[in-house]
């Protein structure tokens, strides 16, 4: 930067002598903050531009990711809101690319394993009904969209074209015990079994409450014991047997969640989602999958303790610990724009019915966020490799912002900032190593909901 360093003495002398032309004064004013400006340019130099998120567009603009994707077994792709159109299209595009060039064959989704069984049957041509009816089987509204439907229909089309190379759709969540049992009974009906499994009546509505010791025993006596009898008495097909075993495993996770935590525990749920992906891939070594979830779930953070209650972290951390450099975690973020989310103007919402699902629009992200830091780049869709960012920010010569970046963590509900309804209070900070990369959209639009 040489002469135009912010030296107060030089500046004072120059102004006193009035020897500067107007152009030189303007140039000096521009470079008063030259240090931070150049630091910003250096940081932004690592960004790569993606021209389109459209899954029907050319893959040429993501070919630079070839080395990133090479030798990966699991790629996690997140989203800062569950209702953003662009996030859904980008993961569809990336999945298509991975299928066609890297042998990927599975979607792992942040939804119930039991509920995604029907989706898997549909893409393999074994389920009755059309796509719009099938996606209503999801537990979460976030997937009731045209974008998800298009992904599922593409997977169905692909399977029709490749009968010996089938794609899979697997849910990895474990929060809906009632539906797990419903799915077990659906399978049993095809074997003309007289056995019906039911949750104890007092537990059916205890979705977020802790079970007592006696209630845990009731669960074991009415569910676990019957499942053991089933496995011994019925000759299931190999495929159905694997499904029953997987459902039994998820029911055990569901039981532990309620016996130990009651109102739910994010770390335990994340541990289960990560372990469920690992289990699926151990059970079928040919699987290579894209894990779709909220950014928080794909974060590469996990600290396992002897006690479940003391363990901390996220599914991405579980996957990273198991797969190492064969796992990649890409967060998706936006600067400003619209998305779908549940929202209420009540100051102290207590019940779900207080919220209404609607389109929300918010202004640009706060200072010191990943979005504000890369706002002035030329790209409208920016791929930000965090390892390169970390290398620059750790340099002794770097004088820019060095603390953890803020980014949105909105998910499925929107809570506005106290002093500004066009801003959200839902930001979280993450360090450079939390994700391998961010895909940043300068502007976002809401996903296209399919209403019943």
Q: Mean pLDDT of successive 10-residue segments in the chain (452 residues)?
A: 34 37 39 51 89 98 97 98 99 99 98 98 95 94 97 98 98 95 93 86 85 94 90 92 95 93 82 97 97 98 79 93 98 98 76 86 96 95 96 87 92 91 89 95 98 74
Site of tokens 């935590």: 261
Q: Which two tokens stand for residue 253?
A: 């996770």
Instruction: Classify residue 58: in a domain, yes or no.
Output: no
- What 8-state DSSP symbol labels residue 181? H
pLDDT for 6 equals: 35
Q: 168 phi and psi, to 5 degrees?
A: -125, 150
- Tell me the pairing of strands 420-424 and 302-303: unpaired
Range of the domain at 198: 174-276
Q: Which two tokens stand for residue 258?
A: 């309620």
End-to-end CA distance of the chain: 61
What's the DSSP call for residue 145? B
Give the Å distances, CA to CA, from 7 to 272, 281, 389, 396, 447: 57, 61, 29, 21, 51
Q: CB burial class (10 A; 0-12, 13-18, 19+) of residue 80?
A: buried
Question: Would residue 257 count as lying in a domain?
Answer: yes
Calpha distance 312→442 (Å, rounded): 32
Rounded to 5 degrees, φ, ψ at 429 are -100, 140
Q: What are phi and psi of 245, to 5 degrees?
A: -60, -40
CA dihedral 289, 324, 412, 347 (to 10 degrees): 170
CA 416 → CA 114, 258, 405, 413, distances in Å?
A: 34, 31, 20, 10
DSSP per position, 254-286: HHHHHHHTSS--HHHHHHHHHHHHHHHHHH-TT
Are 150 and 92 spatial neighbours (Cβ–Cβ below 8 Å)?
yes
Q: Is residue 256 assigned to a domain?
A: yes
Q: Quick check: 177 and 264 in contact, CB under 8 A?
A: no
| Residue 339, in any domain of the structure | no
Both tokens of residue 184? 């077990």
Q: Which residues, including other chains, have CB under 8 Å from residue 265's CB and lie 6 or more apart?
A: 257, 309
3-class state of residue 384 by DSSP: strand
pTM greater than 0.85: yes
Distance (Å, whole) CA 413 – CA 77: 20
Length of the chain: 452
- CB atoms < 10 A from the CB of 235, how many? 7
Does a structural domain hold residue 451? Answer: no
User: How many CB atoms are located within 10 Å of the residue 9 CB?
Assistant: 7
In a domain, 264, yes or no: yes
Residue 337: per-residue pLDDT: 98
Helices (H), 124-176: 131-134, 146-161
Strand partners, 206: none
Q: Quick one: 82 exposed, middle or buried, by C-beta within 10 A (0-12, 13-18, 19+)? A: buried
Q: Count how many domains the chain has.
A: 1
In a domain, 241, yes or no: yes
Question: Which residues share a beta bridge with 149?
Answer: none
Tokens of 333: 């973020």
What phi and psi values does residue 69 have, to the nearest 5 degrees?
-85, -15
- Do 358 and 81 contact (CB within 8 A), yes or no? no
Residue 71, token pair as written in the block? 């030798």
Residue 194 inside a domain? The answer is: yes
- E-only strand ranges, 181-326: 289-292, 302-303, 312-313
């Amino acid at each position: 930067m040489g002469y135009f360093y912010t030296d107060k003495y030089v500046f004072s002398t120059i102004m006193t002598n009035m020897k500067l032309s107007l152009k030189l004064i303007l140039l000096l004013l521009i470079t008063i903050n030259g240090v931070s400006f150049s630091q910003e340019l250096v940081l932004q130099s690592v960004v790569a531009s993606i021209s389109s998120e459209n899954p029907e567009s050319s893959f040429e603009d993501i070919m630079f990711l070839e080395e990133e994707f090479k030798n990966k077994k699991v790629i996690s792709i997140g989203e800062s809101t569950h209702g953003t159109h662009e996030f859904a299209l980008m993961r569809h595009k990336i999945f298509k690319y991975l299928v066609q060039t890297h042998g990927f064959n599975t979607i792992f989704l942040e939804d119930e394993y039991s509920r995604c069984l029907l989706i898997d049957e549909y893409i393999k041509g074994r389920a009755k009904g059309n796509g719009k009816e099938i996606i209503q089987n999801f537990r979460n509204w976030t997937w009731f969209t045209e974008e998800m439907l298009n992904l599922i229909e593409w997977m169905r089309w692909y399977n029709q074209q490749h009968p010996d190379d089938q794609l899979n759709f697997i849910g990895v969540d474990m929060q809906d015990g009632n539906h797990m049992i419903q799915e077990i009974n659906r399978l049993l009906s095809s074997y003309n079994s007289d056995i019906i499994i039911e949750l104890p009546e007092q537990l059916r509505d205890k979705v977020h409450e802790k079970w007592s010791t006696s209630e845990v025993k009731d669960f074991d006596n009415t569910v676990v014991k019957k499942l053991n009898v089933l496995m011994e008495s019925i000759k299931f097909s190999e495929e159905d047997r694997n499904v029953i075993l997987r459902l039994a495993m998820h029911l055990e996770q569901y039981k532990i969640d309620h016996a130990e935590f009651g109102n739910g525990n994010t770390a335990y749920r994340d541990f289960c989602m990560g372990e469920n992906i690992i289990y699926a891939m151990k059970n079928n070594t040919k699987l290579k999958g894209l894990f779709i979830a909220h950014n928080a779930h794909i974060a590469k953070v996990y600290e396992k303790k002897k006690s479940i209650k003391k363990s901390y972290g996220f599914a991405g951390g579980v996957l990273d610990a198991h797969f190492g450099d064969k796992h990649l975690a890409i967060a998706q973020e936006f600067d400003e724009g619209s998305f779908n989310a549940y929202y209420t103007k009540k100051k102290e919402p207590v019940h779900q019915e207080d919220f209404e699902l609607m389109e929300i629009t918010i202004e640009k992200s706060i200072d010191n966020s990943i979005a504000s830091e890369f706002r002035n780049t030329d790209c409208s869709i920016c791929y930000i490799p965090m390892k390169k960012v970390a290398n620059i920010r750790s340099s002794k010569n770097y004088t820019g912002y060095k603390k953890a970046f803020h980014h949105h963590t909105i998910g499925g509900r929107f809570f506005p900032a106290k002093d500004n309804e066009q801003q959200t209070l839902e930001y979280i900070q993450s360090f450079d190593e939390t994700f391998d990369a961010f895909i940043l959209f300068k502007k976002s639009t809401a996903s296209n909901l399919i209403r019943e």
